Amino acid sequence: MSMIAERITLEDVAREAGVSLATVDRVLNRRPGVREKTAAKVQAAIAKLGYRPDPVAARLARKETFRFCFILPTGTNTFMSNLEEQVGATAEWLVTQRAFVDMVHVDVFDPDVLATALERLEGRYHGVAVIALDHPRVRAAIDDLVARGSAVVTLVSDAPTSRRLRYVGIDNTAAGRTAGTLMGRFSGGREGPVALIAGSLALRDHAERQFGFMQVVNGEFANLRTLPLREGRDDSELTRKVTEDILAAHPDLVGIYNVGAGNRGIAAALEAAGRERDVVFIGHDLTAYTRRFLVRGIMDAVINQDAGHEARSAARVLLAHCTGEPILPEQERIRIDIFLRDNIP
């Protein structure tokens, strides 16, 4: 039925109702000059044929376009580079929907820099997608954008108490709990410390992952004890130095959970210390690098979120908000994937 409905045109409706095309157009756009009986015939024909207006054609007729902005982080984070590529690919689809995308790169770890970038967008965009920092100034900047008519979607990392329209990303507490269960199982009953490295706990996704991980490890695996979390700002060189310090201070280290990015630095430090085979290493996001680490046995598991799905979902949510069309919540749910060496796609 849906394939047939896609082929139905206004001419088909006019023919079925026995009226002119101009009359059908007046009924659809609720313009005066059509008798009630005639309007009823047109509505009956629409219902019978399953006609649905083409929103893109309607926007074209009204010369209506939308402008969106994606705020992405600076730096060498491989996952974010993948996300940027996916936003670029999604932008090509949005052009067919008469919507256009700009990308802005800022230091999302700095609340003042991120808030200033958001403030500069006021009045320029119909919708904004942002890797959010859960900080009072950032929340205020999001709220101000919304108050001035821009829809805001938080992407990957949330600011839930802001007035954002929707969060697009995985359940990060569940992701952290998953990492905790994998760490406990892969440790094989060995006793000792487990290290956590995050980009920044100011990013809510990193804080939630840490929370979920510690819930499981501290509550279910008495053989393991979690060390105080260290921050590496998602930078490979910084995470390498942090890992070197941890390895030197804890020769009995059982595992490392990398909450954020910087997996290359951790892998390099483990290999340099000759510990890549005995330290359980769990991290996030399947990239060219983490794929290689899995194959070589340096990483034991990767918890993944689909960057393409996130980019497309953010775009669909913003577009639907602007056009007044509904979204499908099931379609926009971002799932958690677990990849081992044996199931890499």
Q: Cβ–Cβ contacts within 10 Å for residue 233, how many? A: 18
In this structure, what token pair is assigned to residue 39? Answer: 């309007």
Phi/psi of residue 69, nearest 5 degrees: -130, 135
Question: Cα–Cα distances in Å, from 196 out to 14, 303, 336, 340?
Answer: 66, 15, 20, 20
DSSP letter, residue 257: E
- Predicted local distance difference test score (pLDDT) of residue 5: 41
pLDDT at 6: 53
pLDDT at 54: 65
Strands 192-198 and 166-168: unpaired
What structural domains does the chain harbor?
Answer: 10-53 (1.10.260.40), 65-168+307-334 (3.40.50.2300), 172-305 (3.40.50.2300)
Spans of the chain, pLDDT less than 50: 1-5
Q: Give per-residue pLDDT as tens, 52-106.
A: 766 655 555 556 799 999 999 998 889 999 999 999 999 999 998 889 999 999 9
pLDDT the model gives residue 58: 57
The whole-model pTM stands at: 0.82
Rounded-to-integer distance, Cα 302 and Cα 283, Å: 5
Q: Please state the φ and ψ torsions of residue 225, each to the nearest 5 degrees.
A: -130, 135
Bridge pairing between strands 151-155 and 127-130: parallel
Q: Give dist(CA 328, CA 252) in Å, integer.
A: 49
pLDDT tens digits, residue range 198-239? 999 989 999 999 999 999 999 999 999 999 999 999 999 999
Cα separation, 74 vs 270, in Å, equals 26
Task: Give the CA radius of gyration of the chain.
Answer: 25
Per-position DSSP letters for 168-181, written without gaps between them: ES--HHHHHHHHHH
Edge-first strand listing for the sheet containing 66-73:
99-106, 66-73, 127-130, 151-155, 166-168
Spacing of C-alpha 307 from chain mean position: 6
**pLDDT for the residue numbered 61:** 54
3-state secondary structure of 127: strand
